[in-house]
Copies of this chain bind each other. A is one copy, B any other.
Amino acid sequence: MTAMRKSGKPWGGRFAQATDPQVEAYTASIQFDRRLYKYDIQGSVAHARMLAKCGLLAKAEADKIVAGLHEIGGEIERGEFRFDPSFEDIHMAIESRLIEKVGEAGAKLHTGRSRNDQVALDVRLYLRDEIRQIRRLVAGLERALIAQAEAHLDLIMPGYTHLQRAQPVLLAHHLMAYVEMLERDRARLNDALARVDVLPLGSGALAGVGLPIDRRFVARELQFRALSANSLDAVSDRDFVIEPLAAFALLMAHLSRLAEEIVLWASAEFGFIELPDALATGSSMMPQKKNPDVAELTRAKTGRVFGALVALLTAVKGLPLSYNRDLQEDKEPLFDSVETVKAALSVMASLVSGLAFCRDRMQQAAREGFLNATDMADYLVRKGMPFRQAHETVGRIVRRCLAKRCRIEELSLKELRAASPLFDRDVFAYVALEGCIERRKATGGTATGTVKKAITAARTRLGRR
């Protein structure tokens, strides 16, 4: 015990030489895994109780351990804990402090467990918490989008494909598209959570534990849904990190799209939104600038999370069973991604809530660019013309308008009839923007009633979980 207390190494016995300080620094994780302290203590408490229940610890010893662990938790929270860099990791730092505090009982805590299953446990506990929190933040961003959608249910804007104006849509419909993306993100996080929420403790170093332990007891204490089913897998698996990272990557991809649109809309050319001063920044050189930095940084941070995913996939590629030290490299990309995703979700929710939409610019834009051309073709279809012919006919009408620099609806009926005798006076009503919007009432369409239903459905889902 002396050896460990002095060196901080839980494996001094077999070694004749002290560890090279450079190696100590290279292999240490305490500078980043200290954020797991809460989960490490939580796991150790459950483990100690189980050892007592199974007769591997005396009840009194377990009580001392649990009390000691809680004290240490308090010390860390209050910033009183000295993180000695000579301890490799948070697990040894806590165990060593425990032995200092409660003596021999503390030296019994590691009975029937290994750092391999302990680390896996701590990260799973951490991720379970963080995924739940991220799920809530996703819901928060959804609510911000829905609130803006509801507040602008009557605002028509150009819908784009290829960044070319295509058909008129409601701004609300556009915003609700992001709600759909985010709803898939929440579902993916839920699915991932089911595979995170599995107890690895009891796997030992790799082969299981040779003492009569009770894994189900620990699972109940820590509220895990399931036990890991193979000890070799349990200590060498990092799917439970990679799958959430993949879900985060897709979530960030969605945010990058929203961010891009905010950047575009805030440009002088689009002029669709005004950013509140409080959420924009200026330039050190150009006095007139007001920049959408929040959106830009969100767009860029996407790369960070993609990079973390690649880092982890690379790290596990080609590793033989079971635990390899390579797996320690899971933590920094994971922690960084969790922080990035949480910050991005939270600041984007503020940004969305703070957007002021320039109604006139948006509506004006919807009136230019022949956004009703498809409906004019539909008009001909309804009059019996095959769609392909209708498309071509209206294509020629558009070419004519381009030459004349006018809108479709500014052509005379005579001019339209020159293109097709099927045109009648009712075409002008048919191609009015409001009609284009309201006719699209099948599920998923931009008709006001349909969008309202989508909003209601989204609110219901958000209420449910």
Say which residue of B169, B242, B257 sits within 8 Å of A250 (CB atoms): B242
Question: Is the beta-carbon distance between A303 and B315 smaller than 8 angstroms?
Answer: yes
Given the complex of chains A and B, what is the CA–CA distance between A291 and B163 in angstroms?
8
Give, as a whole number of angstroms, the nearest-CB distance from A120 to chain B: 12
The answer to whether B111 touches A381 (Cβ under 8 A) is yes
Copies of this protein in the assembly total 4
- CB-CB contacts of A20-33 with B at 8 A, as 1s and 0s? 10110111000000
A268 touches B313 (CB 8 A): no
A:167-212 near B, CB below 8 Å = 167-169, 173-174, 176-181, 184, 187-188, 191, 194-195, 202-212
Taking a contact as CB atoms closer than 8 A, the residue among B13, B114, B304 that contacts A329 in the complex is: B304
CA distance A167 to B114 in the complex (A): 13
Contact call B163/A278, Cβ cutoff below 8 A: no
**A128 interfacial contact with B, CB 8 Å:** no
Interchain CB contact under 8 A, A318 and B256: yes
By a CB distance below 8 angstroms, the chain B residues around A300 are 315, 324-329
Given contacts A4-B392, A169-B206, contact A297 B161 (CB under 8 A): no
Question: Which residues of B lie under 8 Å from residue A381 when comparing CB positions?
Answer: 56, 108, 111, 211
Of the candidates B104, B191, B369, B450, the one whose C-beta lies within 8 Å of that of A191 is B191
A373 nearest CB neighbor, chain B only? B288
- Contact with A26, one of B283, B294, B393, B447 (Cβ below 8 angstroms): B294
With A278-B20, A325-B296 given, is the CB distance from A440 to B230 under 8 Å?
Answer: no
Q: Which listed segment binds B: A38-46, A77-85, A258-266, A409-417?
A: A258-266
A135 at the binding interface (Cβ < 8 Å): no
Query: With an 8 A cutoff between CB atoms, is A352 at the interface?
Result: no
Known: A195-B187, A307-B311. A15 touches B268 (CB 8 A): no
The answer to whether B296 and A326 have CB atoms under 8 Å apart is: yes
> A317 to chain B: which residues have CB within 8 Å?
253, 256, 299, 302-303, 306, 314, 317-318
Asked whether A388 and B99 contact (CB < 8 A) given A232-B177, A246-B246, A306-B314, the answer is yes
Chain B residue at minimum C-beta to C-beta distance from A208: B445
B22 engages A346 (CB within 8 Å)? yes
CB distance from A397 to the nearest CB of B (A): 8
- Identify the closest chain B residue to A313 (Cβ): B306
Tell me the chain A residues, 205-260 only, with Cβ under 8 Å from chain B: 205-216, 227-237, 239, 242-243, 246, 249-250, 253, 256-257, 259-260
Contacting pair B289 A14 (CB below 8 A): yes
Stretch at the interface among A68-76, A136-144, A269-277, A421-429: A269-277
In the complex, what's the smallest C-beta–C-beta distance from A396 to chain B, in angstroms?
5
Is A52 engaged at the interface, CB distance under 8 Å to the other chain?
Answer: no
From B208, B242, B393, contact of A442 by CB (8 A): B208
Residues of B within 8 Å of A279, CB to CB, are 19-20, 23
A-B contact list, 14 entries, CB within 8 Å: A110-B284, A114-B286, A162-B289, A177-B322, A179-B230, A210-B440, A227-B444, A257-B321, A285-B374, A287-B397, A287-B398, A302-B314, A303-B315, A303-B317
